[in-house]
Chain A
Amino acid sequence: MSEHELRVSKIRDGTVIDHVEGGQALNVLAILGIDGSEGFGVSVGMNVPSDRLGRKDIVKVEERELSQSEVDVLSLIAPEATINIVRDFEVVEKNRVTRPDSVTGVLSCPNRNCITNADEPVDTRFDVVADGVRCDYCSTILRADIADHIDV
């Protein structure tokens, strides 16, 4: 039995997000809007050994199947992530995350003078560009530190 199976047990039904870059699991939950209050069983493994990534995080959400559009936004912080849909302990679907065209309501704009930081009733919206994201309102480009601007 491998080490991570010992730490995070199998789930009957739900979604397993695997191969998340080490240290990003809580950001994954934040982006998905899961904070435990929904009543789903949530298991998180952080910095477990991985052949592919060295160290990886793994997130298991019971009784909830995440749609492709819900998980695609994870590609910004976890481009290597794999999404496994589990039914009755079996993986019935396995997908990679793909980069979405835009991301709404997930990130805060790093430009303090952007109208989205001015107490307006508006969700932030970023276009996904070659190597980052770009604010639809003020055009500011965010590249390396996307995870620092998760605001959900």
Chain B
Amino acid sequence: MRQDHLITATQLSRDDIEAVLDRARAVADDPAAYADRHAGRVLALCFFEPSTRTRMSFDSAAKRLGMNTVGMGDVDSSSVSKGESLSDTVRVIEGYADALVLRHPSEGAATLAAENVSVPVVNAGDGAGQHPSQTLLDLHTIRENHGLDDLTVGIMGDLKYGRTVHSLAAALTNFDANQHFISPESLRLPRSVRFDLHETGAQMREHTDLEDVIGELDVLYVTRIQKERFPDENEYHRVAGEYRIDAETLEDASEDLTVMHPLPRVDEIAPDVDETDHARYFEQAHNGIPVRMALLDTLMENAEAAEGMEVDR
């Protein structure tokens, strides 16, 4: 990957993805070899909305590369609450760090941030937009379980606002993958994501009922349907119930089906699924470490090359 930033999954080619995933595999095989790779470098964790696992995962990945991390603390107590623009905030933070990881509630925030700084920016979620580092670890999980070609993937839940869905769908177009999108009518993929899928000639179908396709799937990627997306709570409960899976739902599935979820889950995957061989969502979360190490390593390497620095390996 020769990119300076990771902003959307649409920017990633098959080669980009495979290079990061190969490196992630190497990191997982021999983490000690990467331990001091970026010693003395600092990663800024700029989280403008709450996050536990993504922030901790980047924090841990950076430290395992020998980097230090700095965070902004609670947004309510930072200068953001005093009305400072994101453009100004990242320009200031750029002086404190060698790379930025950004989560922000507005779509396009990471694009704007990248335009204002010269250090690498990783989009760790921009509103209902994109979450491409999650996609890399999703793809790593799929690759380790099935490979990335000749693949049939079902993506279910909140496809309209689900940023992990938007990134995953875009990235899968690089591979020989059939994509099935399963959601209530009101939470179908947004026009912009469908546009990109059609532009790339992706093989895709949309469904309202998981039963229509479950037998065909190699991977079922489940996402949470959030209560706040529905004006009426009864309607939420009715819809959410239809997109909940349990061990019985999976009786019609292939033996090799992999069930994934970006987590946190609420009740869309029943605990009895955890006991089946299908469940891979905890493995998927753990893959965040080698994949984000590989990603940070790649971006730091690119930045150092761009600076023309001699890097001692």
Q: Interface centre among A136, A137, A139, by most B CB within 10 Å?
A: A139
Q: Does A113 contact B (CB under 8 A)?
A: yes
A116–B85 contact, CB under 8 A? no
Chain B residues, Cβ within 8 Å of A113 = 105-107, 127-128
A111–B85 CB distance below 8 A: no
Within 8 A of A (CB), among B91-122: 104-109, 111-112, 115
B192 contacts the other chain (CB 8 A): yes
Chain A residues contacting B129 (CB-CB under 8 Å) are 138-139
**A120-B85, A121-B85, A121-B87 given; A115·B109 CB < 8 A:** yes
Residues of A in contact (CB 8 Å), total 20
Decide: A141 and B112 in contact? CB cutoff 8 A.
no
Give bound CA distance, A136 to B114, whole Å. 13
Q: Give complex CA distance A137, B87 in Å.
A: 14
A120 in contact with B107 (CB, 8 Å): no
Q: B166-214: which residues lie under 8 A (CB-CB) from chain A?
A: 191-193, 195-196
Asked whether, in the complex, the Cβ of B107 is within 8 Å of the Cβ of A138, the reply is yes
Which of chain B's residues have a CB closer than 8 A to the CB of A139? 8, 107-108, 129, 192-193, 196
Give A76-118 interface residues, CB cut-off 8 Å to B.
111, 113-118
Q: Are B107 and A137 within 8 A (Cβ)?
A: yes
Which range contains the number of B residues in contact with the other chain? 20 to 34
Are A111 and B191 within 8 A (Cβ)? no
Q: Give Cα A129–Cα B194 distance, bound, in whole angstroms.
A: 14
Q: Which residues of A contact B128 (CB under 8 A)?
A: 113
Kindly list chain A residues whose C-beta atoms are within 8 Å of the C-beta of B86: 115, 118, 120
The B1-41 residues at the A interface (CB cut-off 8 A) are 8
CB distance from A48 to the nearest CB of B (A): 37
Residues of B within 8 A of A114 (CB): 106-108
The contact sample of 13 A-B pairs, CB cut-off 8 A, is A113-B106, A115-B108, A115-B111, A115-B112, A116-B112, A117-B106, A120-B112, A122-B87, A122-B115, A137-B112, A139-B107, A139-B108, A140-B191
In the complex, the 9 A-B pairs of residues with the closest C-beta atoms, listed nearest first: A137-B108, A138-B107, A115-B108, A139-B192, A138-B108, A115-B106, A115-B109, A115-B112, A137-B111
Excluding A120-B85, A138-B108, A139-B107, 20 further A-B contacts by CB distance (< 8 Å) are A113-B128, A114-B108, A115-B109, A115-B126, A116-B108, A120-B86, A120-B87, A121-B85, A122-B112, A129-B195, A134-B192, A134-B195, A136-B111, A137-B107, A138-B107, A138-B126, A138-B127, A140-B107, A140-B192, A141-B191
